[in-house]
Amino acid sequence: MRLEVIAVMLATLFAIGSTGVRRAAASVRFAEQEKPSPERPAERGNNQPADLSDFERLRVEGFDAVYNLDYKTARERFLQMTRLAPDHPAGYLYLANNLWLETLYLTRRLTTSVYTGGSFYAENANEDKVDPRRDREFQDLIKQAVGASKVMLVKNARDVEALYYQASALGIRAAYSSSVKRGFSRGIGDANESVKIQREVIKLDPNYVDAYLSIGLYEYVIDSLPFGWRLLARFAGLKGSKAKGIEHLELVVSRGRYAADDSRVVLLGIYSKENNSTRSLELISELAAHYPRNYIFGLERASMLYRIGRPDEGGRAFAELLKDDRVTAQVADLVNYQWGEALANKKDYEGAIVRFKEVQRWPKSNAGLVSLAHLRAGEALDAIGKREEAMAEYQMVLKRENVFDSHKLAAQYVKTPYMPSKS
């Protein structure tokens, strides 16, 4: 059995959760709920910082910055955490997480649409190129987080907090490998080990509800495999249940201490896949309301409105995003590209071409997104019978760096015109 298949699906949902990371403090409101109770005892161990109030404040401020796409401020706060508690894994883990999310943001991979198409999973001989300095920093931070967790476990092998941080570090590395490098083989190993440790957390402390985030995701993914691969997965000892997975994730939404919004983001991807438009829109609306400065949630909501058959509302939502000065200064290419995809999926090819051309024209557009915009514009032009213009777009794709399977598809369409599906 090719385990890469499982890694692909794990990567999809790990990365879907990237706008809402597995973090230890979602907002001030969660921090205020962190009082010990008979059901959920205090977890402060020998490696906890002496001044927990400062530690928590930095954590809350850091993740507030992350959710508002302010990665510089988040980095500063998490660095302060490592200085306040150099022997605790939290600061290193959050720095790695912040670096990963910033990388996805810069490469325009911080949206679910990247992971729902087949092109992202096209197999190449090599992993995607990454900035070696950023990659080295990420790997070093993960090693520090895992190392600090292991030191805690030497002192107490049943330290659930140490186990949780260790599992989270492996989970983030799995997501990084799969979403940044498209290195799916490495991702599956880390993902499996992460879930194994999270199950141990639940055994030791059934009330550690946040651990169900990774477990629920894993359950859903394994049961989502095609029948033949799912059967082979069972022979390999990998079992899952969609229903149980969704149940676990909803449990985190309702009772999670820190990961409720993370679970909302993962469920957003799952319910979209399951065509549960009512729950999907409910979740994205909650997130957009909680984090109004995070235009990624607004972008996801606009795309979703198209998917559920409300294109007029979706169009207005995209148009409103393009009136936001931050959007037009930072991610106009991403908004136009996703709007173009939404229009093309509704067979409004003329409208889609306009949007893809905007991506090509904007001087600050991400180079990879420009290549994909040329490809998608070619498809739309073929769909309306403008073959010569479509050919010019495909030739442009072939002159640029390959993105996912863009060269393969462009070469294919040069020989045979793109034909839209009839559905």
Question: pLDDT at position 85, please?
Answer: 94
Question: pLDDT at position 175, please?
Answer: 85
Question: pLDDT at position 51, please?
Answer: 57
Question: pLDDT at position 270, please?
Answer: 86
Question: pLDDT at position 306, please?
Answer: 94
Which residues span the domain enclosing 58? 1-259+269-274
Model confidence at 224, pLDDT cuts 50, 70, 90, reads confident
Model confidence at 15, pLDDT cuts 50, 70, 90, reads very low
The DSSP 8-state label assigned to residue 210 in this structure reads G
Question: pLDDT at position 170, please?
Answer: 92
Give the closest residue to 165 by CA, choosing from 149, 183, 147, 141.
Answer: 149
Q: pLDDT, tens digit, for every residue of 325-353?
A: 999 999 999 999 999 999 999 999 999 99
Q: pLDDT, tens digit, for every residue of 175-190?
A: 888 888 876 667 777 8
Residue 194 has pLDDT above 70, yes or no: yes
Residue 110 has pLDDT above 50, yes or no: yes
Q: pLDDT, tens digit, for every residue of 344-391?
A: 999 999 999 999 999 999 999 999 999 999 999 999 999 999 999 999
How many secondary structure helices (H) and strands (E) does the chain include?
22, 0
Residue 298 domain-assigned?
no
Question: pLDDT at position 167, please?
Answer: 93
Residue 289 domain-assigned?
no
If 0-12 CB within 10 Å is exposed, 13-18 middle and 19+ buried, where does residue 72 land? exposed
- CA–CA separation, 112 and 100 (whole Å): 16
Q: pLDDT, tens digit, for every residue of 118-171?
A: 676 665 656 678 889 999 999 999 999 999 999 999 999 999 999 999 999 998
- CA–CA separation, 350 and 85 (whole Å): 56
- Contact present, 83 and 144 (Cβ < 8 Å): no
The pTM is what? Answer: 0.79
Residue 351 domain-assigned?
no
Question: pLDDT at position 12, please?
Answer: 42
Average pLDDT of the chain to the nearest whole number: 83
Residue type, 194: S
Residue 312 domain-assigned?
no
Give the closest residue to 217 by CA, choosing from 186, 178, 246.
Answer: 246
Domain tally, the chain: 1
Question: pLDDT at position 117, please?
Answer: 65
Residue 357 domain-assigned?
no
**150 vs 116, which has greater pLDDT?**
150
**100 vs 113, which has greater pLDDT?**
100
Question: pLDDT at position 257, please?
Answer: 83
Distant-in-sequence, close-in-space partners of 197: CB < 8 Å, separation ≥ 6: 163, 164, 166, 167, 170
Average pLDDT of span 73-89: 96
Residue 286 domain-assigned?
no
Structure tokens at 378: 């070619």
- CA–CA separation, 406 and 394 (whole Å): 9
Residue 324 domain-assigned?
no
- Contact present, 262 and 294 (Cβ < 8 Å): no
Residue 95 domain-assigned?
yes
